[in-house]
């Protein structure tokens, strides 16, 4: 099965084994000429299952068997990410919200509450706040300019849209009983920030991602937010990040 999708301003032809991934990506469908092609094979699906098994093992859980159609959705995402690095574009595990045409990213280890915090922004700001992507936005990183793009891989609640907005700020979330925020030097928190970016399997691709991250952190203010799950946390982070100068 073949179809083309425009993601982060690149047209990708996807050759899939099952129709589910084509339905999953339907919002991004295009008839434009492809910039590159990704092809899913049974070996790619087996690789995705091994990754899932390893993640379950690290969390002390029993292996979870996924249907091939489900594995293909993540396989296509991975294969696209491997290629997008060549276009200065990376996938960054985060929730992205746009306000007044500018994007704000919230990142953290799974379960910390980045999706909840993004929801609080939407509650606080109403229609001013647009959900760009609730899980896996893509960032095109160029000197002095970072653009956030929606992707089909937008979390279990499928929150996001096909838009592109400049990045205003990146926020590392931590749970706290009291709300407090500070601007940080990214290098002081580099391992935690770096691990949220998809890094290709090949060494050259990984090196390129690390270079792009350096450019990203030089171009965009980075914050650390200690927050509870209340509206005051969103008010604090919004007012601080919106009012800061790059």
Residues 6+ apart with CB under 8 A from 245: none
What is the pLDDT averaged over residues 134-145?
95
Residue 242 has, within 13 A of its CA and on its CB side, a CA count of 14
pLDDT recorded at residue 80: 98
Distance CA 151, CA 28 (A): 8
Measure CA 191 to chain center. Answer: 17
Kindly give the residue spans of alpha helices, DSSP state H, lying in the chain: 20-24, 42-58, 68-84, 114-125, 190-194, 203-219, 231-243
Domains of the chain: 2-87 (no CATH), 89-243 (3.90.228.20)
Q: In what order do the strands lie in the sheet with 29-30?
A: 29-30, 2-7, 10-15, 36-39
What is the pLDDT averaged over residues 122-142?
96
The pTM score is 0.94
pLDDT (tens digit, 9 = 90+) per residue, 5-23?
Answer: 999 999 999 999 999 999 9
Beta-sheet pairing, 164-175 with 180-183: unpaired
Of 162, 151, 27, 18, which Cα lies nearest the Cα of 84?
Answer: 151
pLDDT recorded at residue 246: 46
DSSP annotation of 244 reads: -
């Amino acid at each position: 099965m073949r179809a083309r999708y425009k993601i982060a301003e690149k047209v990708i032809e996807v050759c899939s084994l099952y129709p589910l991934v084509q339905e999953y990506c339907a919002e991004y469908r295009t008839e434009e000429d492809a910039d590159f092609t990704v092809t899913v094979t049974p070996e790619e699906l087996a690789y995705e299952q091994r990754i899932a098994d390893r993640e379950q093992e690290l969390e002390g859980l029993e292996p979870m068997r996924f249907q091939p159609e489900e594995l293909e959705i993540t396989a296509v995402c991975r294969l696209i990410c491997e290629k997008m690095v060549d276009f200065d574009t990376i996938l960054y595990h985060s929730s992205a919200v746009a306000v007044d045409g500018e994007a704000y990213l919230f990142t953290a280890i799974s379960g910390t509450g980045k999706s909840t915090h993004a929801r609080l922004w939407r509650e606080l700001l109403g229609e001013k706040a647009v959900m760009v992507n609730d899980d896996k936005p893509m960032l095109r990183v160029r000197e002095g300019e970072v653009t956030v793009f929606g992707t089909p891989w937008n979390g279990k609640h499928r929150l996001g849209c096909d838009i592109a907005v400049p990045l205003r700020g990146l926020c590392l979330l931590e749970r706290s009983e009291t709300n407090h925020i500070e601007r940080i030097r990214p290098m002081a928190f580099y391992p935690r920030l770096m691990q949220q970016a998809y890094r290709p399997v090949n060494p050259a691709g990984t090196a390129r991602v690390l270079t792009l991250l350096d450019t990203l952190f030089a171009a965009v203010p980075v914050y650390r937010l200690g927050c509870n799950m209340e509206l005051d946390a969103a008010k604090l982070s919004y007012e601080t990040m919106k009012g800061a100068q790059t």
